[in-house]
Amino acid sequence: MIYHLHWEGTVKPKARPRVTRHGTYMPQEYVQMKASAVKSFSDQWKAIGQSTPVDHQVRCYMFFRGKHSQAIDYVDNAPGTLYDALVEAKILTNDNGKHAPGGDHDLEHSKAPPIVDILIAPWLPFKDSILQMNEVAEWLRHN
């Protein structure tokens, strides 16, 4: 089973804690965007009839479409924010290499409003994943 979730809007890249003489904090824009994504993902997860996290290894396909900033790293930092939100929303139990060992992230830049389509699929060894990739390609053709 492949699950589809989406995020509408700009993705704030995964932030590192900032250390100042007044303490440690995370940038407010990142915190707010991630909190919104957590709520959105949680609501979408419930809407498709799911109430518990995926209990197997996954491969996440993230398709960034529309007017996303081209200055953001779409291989690591932007997906990192979304992975963190998926874990916090209790859709994935963890986003480390043991639970989500492979993924695919792509940017299709245009003038359309920014959206990210996230497909969460069972992880298969690469040599066995061609059928899954065909299913993802078919989904992309229709969406």
Q: What pTM value is reported for the model?
A: 0.86
Task: Specify the 3-state DSSP secondary structure of 56.
Answer: coil
Beta bridge partners of 64: 107, 116
Top pLDDT among 74 and 47 is at 47
Top pLDDT among 47 and 122 is at 47
Residues 113 and 107: their CA atoms lie apart, in Å, by 13
> Amino acid identity of 29?
E
Contact indicator for 2, 139 with CB cutoff of 8 Å: yes
pLDDT at 93: 92
Contact indicator for 2, 135 with CB cutoff of 8 Å: yes
